[in-house]
Chain A
Amino acid sequence: MTPSAAPPGQRLTPLPNPLPRPDDELARLEAAWKPPSGWKLLTAVNNTYIGIFYVATAFVFFLAAGVLALLMRIQLAVPENTFLDQSLYNQLFTMHGTVMMFLFAVPVVEAIGVLLLPNMLGARDLPFPRLSAYAFWAYLIGGTVFFGSLFFGNAPDGGWFMNPPLTSYRYSQGQGADWWLLGIGFIEISAIAGAIEIIVGILRTRAPGMSLDKLPIYAWAMLVFAGMIVFAFPAVILATMLLELERAFHWPFFIAELGGDPLLWQHLFWFFGHPEVYIIFLPAAGMVSLIVPTMARTPLVAHRLIVLALAGTGFLSFGLWVHHMFATGIPSLSLSFFAAAGMAVSIPSAIQVFAWIATFASGRVQLGTPALFVLGFLAVFVIGGLTGVMVAVVPFNWQVHDTYFIVAHLHYVLFGGMVFPLFAAFYYWTPFVSRKRLSERLGRWVFGLIFVGFNLAFLPMHITGLAGMPRRVYTYGAGLGWDNLNMLSTVGAFLIAAGVAVFTMDVLRNWRFAITEAAGNVWNAGTLEWLPTGAYSVRSIPIVTSREPLWDQPDLAANVDAGRYFLPGTATGRRETLLTSAVYARPEYLLQLPGPGWSPLLAAAGTAAFFLLLTVKLVVPALIGGGFAIVMILWWMWGSDPGPNHAPVNIGGGVTVPVYVTGPASHSWWAMVSLLLVSGMLFGSLVFSYLYLWTVSPHVWPTDRDALPRLPYPFVSAALLATSSVAIAYGGRALRKADADSPGSAHWRVRLGLVAAMPLLAAALGVELYAQWQAGFRPEASSYGAVVYTLAALQGQYVLVLIVMGGYTLARSWRGLLDCQRRATFDNTMLLWHYAVAQGLLALLLVHGFPRSLG
């Protein structure tokens, strides 16, 4: 036991709770965590259930997008084939890429995180179970409708990265592009929700003693993954907003003759798109880092260096976005920066590859199916990584740009780097949630078919590309030297499909959902997810003293299951998990968790209705759907700030923790700060867009100061913003004195602050819009007007959200649910409020100050 696991002033005993345990303790714990059954399964929020639903849904999308690939391969098997026409082919490659990236790859790794992380960290659940459920349902509904567009001949057809001008209103007149922009934009929001959940879960719900140096590599990988989503996804969300604004209202962000620039889309898209590759790869690498030591029966070599590699990849991969734009005429020195960053990022990847090889070399390998897939991954991913360094070399990149060489490279990286580890993970972790493990015999067939099929399909594509075949052509002429290569690729694709079919059969035959009676630790792994579990996760929350606790703490499983560690029952009668400190994992407080409920599903349905009905221009029903979603979210939020409703509880060994905390120590504060980082990145991407458009089109920027709104306007707007922040801060100060038991004036001052702040915030926006309109700027006239009004529109979104949040906080105050102790709701509203004011002030400085600084 490490001394650092104990809260200051308290000592941890090795086994905090004595035997025998009280008779009804386990029964009460089971009752609190009893999963819903029958059709009420739809109300489940527990991570195990949501995790399984999530993985299964993502796998179905994998199968569906795989079928699209097979259709394309049939079409390309022979020259001048007429199996598919050009229009359908365009929809198929667009949907294949989009579905694989957005509906399979990111969701499936997030899903596995939701499934595994709580058990691996020794938690009972993630800190925001309903958020995971909401993210899942939003993804399921949105993804299904999006995929359905294919059956109505109405799917997007502009390629998975949707470059304008092809995808703007002039050249893509149907609704296909709108499905992509609104459907995918909405699913990205679900990915962000999951990422915030994962960040807070990893940093705050680890078992006591699991300080950062003992955090399993998979959790490190998921932490970096979630951090990357927070920083990368806002750029593409902004891009989709801008393109949809251009399509729907003709605001010219990407139209060159009105001062826009199609390359702005590519910058924003690839600022997300390149990190996206690593967003997909890092969780897979994390899985490999857990599977390899188990298969080699020895601890991972160079644990610390792998953490460095994950963190290094996390930020260096953001310096690669122009990697995808080498053929767009960007200055050669700029290209070199990105080429150099592309080579630099291979260092951390290489560290991991060498560490895995060294671990295999230093252990006694059990060559089960997971090990086979990991070995396959190493071979395929290294080839993909090396061709990646080749395409990072600018002149070579120009040669192979938009050819099948790129198709080969990206599949080696993505299929090799992510799908092989995923199959390893399916075989490895099935015994964790299934009564039976998957078949080793069939597993070898699955591996053989997929590995041979993959290389047969994609190795020749390098040559097809070097021989000049461009990607995305629906057919080609005979005799160009591409015929046999394409036939080989088609045969390979069907071999992969055969492997996936055998795997699906294996799952149908052997996979039987079970928690308590799961097959368990058949691999003799060392991490906590293999502890005996129930619906409540672990019976008692262990004290961790090493990186492979099950290897190094011999009686851990028995003692955990006997209830000898922390919190062997439910202390408050509800679902709960232990919150610990971020670095040292010291027990800090007990978080009460919600049980099953309809609100996440209904809120997700409402959100989906809003975005999807908007796509087909049914504005009023869309608004009704959006309103319904807000009501559902408020319903779920209403019970989520319980206040100190229970005395501090003894979790064992004399350690007493509170059941409610507020401020920077609370999980909700951490989630809100993560959300502010997302918001900051979104705003930063818009500021980048403003400056980028000015760089390429200075002629549409007003150079005459008299053309700009007169100076009093921005000052009035800024003063209103600042005053609204002051009003909220005033309310916050008053709240410190607002006792729960006395309905004194402090409560009225809190309400006064809230009531005053809302119109001030809205008025600031109104003044800004009036000032721009008065000065004669129109959003559809030029890229300048478009970006200026978009800055205001973004602020408008915050005004709307804050008015809802302010009203909600006010309602809680009226109902007596807000006081000096029970103040998490107010604090979160206040954090977002100050952020929105700061963002509004910066936007005013940019819009009114920057053009003046030019003149």
Chain B
Amino acid sequence: MMDAPGRMASKAATWRLCLAPLIWAAHFLAIYAFTALACARKGTGGWFDLASVPWFIGGATLLAAAILLVTIAVAIRAGRRDTSSTGASTFVHWLTAAIAALVLLAVVWETLPLIWVPVCG
């Protein structure tokens, strides 16, 4: 019902909307699983070394934050460039940026305990 480029843009916007929650889930699962494995396998000399926990979590957080920042920037730009100026498309771009910002906050917040809390306790 839409012309092809319009349909593509709409699909891309929908994917962008879902991206931030997926990043949040992937980040959360990754840091949880890595920590659990590091504690379960400590002293066995495998990949999941205790010393690597801060590096892994720090790296995962930086990667997630970078993707989220790009998502926010792209959504804001897409909102500005959107010439259809319907309430719906402005709203979708806004929601994409806002969810990504909320996820960014959650990702950073959930990583902060790394600074104070011992890994296996």
A residues adjacent to B (C-beta < 8 A): 2-4, 7-8, 211-214, 304-305, 307-308, 311-312, 314-316, 318-319, 330-337, 339-341, 343-344, 347-348, 581, 583-584, 586, 588, 665, 691, 695-696
Contacts and interface: CB of A to CB of B under 8 A. Distances in A.
B88 A211 contact: yes
Tier of interface size on chain B: 35 or more
A7 B3 CA distance: 11
Contacts of B31: 337
Given A8-B3, A333-B53, A334-B32, A340 B110 contact: yes
A332 B10 contact: no
9 pairs of A and B residues whose beta carbons are closest in the complex: A332-B121, A336-B113, A211-B88, A213-B91, A315-B21, A331-B39, A4-B86, A340-B110, A213-B87
Contacts of B98: 304-305, 308
Contacts of A333: 35, 53, 113-114, 117-121
A337 B113 contact: yes
B121 A315 contact: no
B109 interface: yes
B106 to A, nearest CB: 4
Please indicate which of the listed interface residues B95, B98, B113 has the most CB atoms of chain A within 10 Å of its own CB.
B113
B84 A341 contact: no
A347 B28 contact: no
B102 A347 contact: yes
B99 A312 contact: yes
A211 B92 CA distance: 10
Interface of B: 1-3, 10, 14, 21, 24-25, 28, 31-33, 35-37, 39-40, 53, 84, 86-92, 94-95, 98-99, 102-103, 105-106, 109-110, 112-114, 117-121
B113 A584 contact: no
B28 A337 contact: yes
B120 A332 contact: yes
B88 A695 contact: no
A211 B86 CA distance: 9
A4 B10 CA distance: 13
B14 to A, nearest CB: 8
Contacts of A3: 86
A214 B31 CA distance: 38
A2 B3 contact: no
Nearest to A695: B40
Contacts of A665: 1
Please indicate which of the listed interface residues B32, B112, B114 has the most CB atoms of chain A within 10 Å of its own CB.
B32
Please indicate which of the listed interface residues B3, B33, B91 has the most CB atoms of chain A within 10 Å of its own CB.
B91
A336 B117 contact: yes
Contacts of B112: 340
B53 A308 contact: no
Given A8-B1, A8-B2, A343-B109, A337 B32 contact: yes
Contact of B35 (A315, A331, A347, A691): A331
A583 B1 contact: no
Contacts of B14: 583
Contacts of A312: 99, 102
A312 B113 CA distance: 21
Nearest to B106: A344
8 contacts: A213-B91, A308-B99, A319-B106, A331-B36, A333-B113, A348-B102, A588-B1, A665-B1
A316 B86 contact: no
Contact of B92 (A212, A305, A586): A212
